[in-house]
Amino acid sequence: MTIAMPVLGAGTFRLKGEDAYNSVTMALEAGYRHIDTAQIYGNEKEVGAAIADSGIARSEIFLTTKIWMDKFGKEAFLPSIRQSLADLQVEYVDLLLIHWPLKNEEVAMSDYLASLKEVKELGMAKQIGISNFTVAQMQQAIDILGTEAIYTNQVEVHPYLQNRKVVDFCLENGIIVTGYMPFAYGDVLKDETIARIAEKHQATAAQTVLAWMRQNEFVTIPSSTKRANIDSNLKASEVVLDEADMAAIAELDRNHRLANPDFAPEWD
């Protein structure tokens, strides 16, 4: 059975060791059923242990991991996924993503996307997708795999970086937008407009941002090590912004990009 990806997930970026284990444990206890990790985060073992120790049926959890660039070659791809599954203590992930497109084409996109498709065909991933792909790269991926195959593009999205070209292309092609870093490392939580809207709805700034994400049909995966924030973020589902709120937040876009490593593509 393939379950739909819950719109609010628990991210684990930058969480190591005990912090990763505790964060996932608290999220699952709070009611989250969508957990996001990646090979490069170095916490798949802790995430897997937290899921195993939770006692929650595997079929109830939507689990995502991402394959790192040094594993894109044919000889490394499948063994790295098998290692991820072993570390996560699962037989499959619900979603496997290409973490970043290769800038240098050292491995051709057609080759690593063929390997990604093979993982799905072997039953080790229920869905496959991409992360940090530009419009041109998404078009290339669609030409290789077909639109139906690409479940999501996980990209940086928050009120200060609304990434509209990428978002519009995803929506036009039936690709779910998963927005990471929804709070821009806390930058947007200090915004006066967000604070004003939050006060109007008797909500927190974080709940207001998460409501904005949800009402734009974005999935999002904030991470936290604090029980209060984990619980509070879940309650964002009760916050409903009106058209004026949504319009005001739309005005906050300022191309404030935080995830921009030297291997990043040429952004739209």
Whether 2 has a pLDDT exceeding 80, the answer reads no
Average pLDDT over residues 30-50: 98
Q: Which residues touch 12 (CB under 8 Å, ≥6 apart)?
A: 20, 23, 24, 35, 36, 37, 41, 43, 47, 223
Give the pLDDT score at 80.
98
Axis crossing angle, helix 205-215 with helix 243-250, rounded to the nearest 10: 100
> 200, 175 in Cβ contact below 8 A?
no
Percent of the chain at pLDDT exceeding 70: 100
Average pLDDT over residues 62-91: 98
**Separation of alpha carbons 155 and 182, rounded Å:** 10
Q: Mean pLDDT in the chain? A: 97
Q: Residue 1 — very low, low, confident or very high, per pLDDT cuts 50/70/90?
A: low
Whether 142 has a pLDDT exceeding 80, the answer reads yes
**Lookup: tokens for 160:** 């200060």
Average pLDDT over residues 129-158: 97
Question: pLDDT digits over 223-266, tens only?
Answer: 999 999 999 999 999 999 999 999 999 999 999 999 999 999 99
Whether 54 has a pLDDT exceeding 80, the answer reads yes
Whether 158 has a pLDDT exceeding 90, the answer reads yes
Q: Which residues touch 168 (CB under 8 Å, ≥6 apart)?
A: none
Give the pLDDT score at 64.
98
- Secondary structure element (H or E) that encloses residue 171, with its range: helix 164-172
**Separation of alpha carbons 197 and 107, rounded Å:** 47
- Secondary structure element (H or E) that encloses residue 63, with its range: strand 62-67
Give the pLDDT score at 3.
81
SS3 199: helix
**Separation of alpha carbons 38 and 169, rounded Å:** 25
Q: Please state the separation of Cα 207 from the chain's center in Å.
A: 18
- Sheet of strand 125-131: strand arrangement: 10-11, 34-36, 62-67, 93-98, 125-131, 150-156, 176-180, 218-220
Report in angstroms the alpha-carbon separations of 137 from 143, 145, 149, 154, 155: 10, 12, 15, 13, 13
Give the pLDDT score at 147.
87
Percent of the chain at pLDDT exceeding 90: 98
Assess whether 41 carries a catalytic annotation.
yes
Catalytic residue among 41, 151, 160, 180: 41
Q: Residue 100 — very low, low, confident or very high, per pLDDT cuts 50/70/90?
A: very high
Give the pLDDT score at 78.
98
Cα Rg of the chain, angstroms:
18
Question: pLDDT digits over 182-203, tens only?
Answer: 999 999 999 999 999 999 999 9
Prediction pTM value: 0.97
Whether 51 has a pLDDT exceeding 80, the answer reads yes
- Secondary structure element (H or E) that encloses residue 96, with its range: strand 93-98
